[in-house]
Amino acid sequence: MQQPHTLEGKVLSAKGWVQGRIEIEKDRIAAINGTSLAEPNIAANAQDCSYILPGFIDLHVHGGGGRDIMEGGDALTTVARIHASHGTTALLATTVTAPKATLETVLTAIDRYMQDVPLAEGSRILGVHLEGPYINAGKLGAQPDFVCAAQLEEIEQYLQRVPIRVVTLAPEINGHHALIRQLTARGVRVQIGHTLGSYEDGVAALAQGASGFTHLFNVMTGLQHRAPGIVGAALAHGEYAELIPDLLHVHEGAMKVALRAIPRLFCVTDATSATAMPDGEYRLGTHTVTKCLGGVRLADGTLAGSMLTMDQAFRNLVKIGLSLADASHRLSLYPADYLGLTDRGRIVEGAYADLVVFNRELELQAVYVEGKSIAITNVK
């Protein structure tokens, strides 16, 4: 019988902070032992303090390490390894708008990876976030212009190829309200994004079963006092929404508004192939994007995803005032709950041993994906 191995430190368990030990057996958490703690004070903790948190779950990843999800094949391995080395233990492979034949090829490749590729020092790919092509051509952002109205038959063909966990669409497009009901009934999370819709469109979409908002504030109608827009619908009625906490896509003040208004706001990277790479030119679907001056942009200056990693997202959330526990929940627990996962995103007996370890300076020290230790790169 395989003997468990252990991790010791300040553990953010499902019941709160514990000073103690986690026992890992194979790919699961076998036991948690220790004494209860109050929320740790970073400044007061010893230099050798270790914080053990649930592994991060990123529901919006386009690429990393110079590779783009739309390439399929070994690009998926590179992306999974890069993000795991920054604390992401599970993710959704996120597509961009593309012709149907291209999407079919990519989705087949993702499913093949999920079925055939062993966990090789990388994040577990849980399925697909289909970001478009069912968006508004007037709010492309950095999406290639292959927009079309959604048809249930087409999406069902995609569902037969790979588990699609999230679909982003613009609710104002004719026929999309009915589609929201149909997709929700099939267990797909529908998010509102890349939209010119009104506040009323957003509220109606939520009533039909839409459950989230894609990169809140970005490429959607903003909040005005006589035209609250999709942002207003999210702030007034949303339970879940994505946010990119790179401190570039969204101002710190707007982040705090969303954190106060949306109970289970969770954070994503929207990472591109430029993530964990030097400045230069990279791919986002059919687009060429440039990484420079702390961001990733199209030639006209439009933000084109990000170069964010989840360990940096964690530090950014703490920097703007969130507690360690609150920051952790928005990167692990809430995205897990959003997908209906009870065996990830939390430290509890029987859950997958998806764990990250930080030191007092919140530098990433160790990552475990389903009990397997992952090599750490680019630690600051």
Q: For 269-308, how does the pLDDT look when each residue is reduced to its tens digit (9 = 90+)?
A: 999 999 999 999 999 999 999 999 899 999 999 999 999 9
pLDDT band at 4 (very low <50, low <70, confident <90, very high): low
Find the range with the poorest average confidence among 230-234, 333-337, 376-380. 376-380
State the chain's mean pLDDT as an integer. Answer: 95
pTM over cut 0.85: yes
pLDDT digits (tens, 9 = 90+) for 308-352: 999 999 999 999 999 999 999 999 999 999 999 999 999 999 999
Query: Known catalytic residues?
Result: 270
Burial of 105 (0-12, 13-18, 19+ CB in 10 A): middle
Torsion angle of C-alpha atoms 142, 148, 149, 153, degrees rounded to 10: -120
Query: What is the pLDDT, as a whole number, of residue 42?
Result: 80
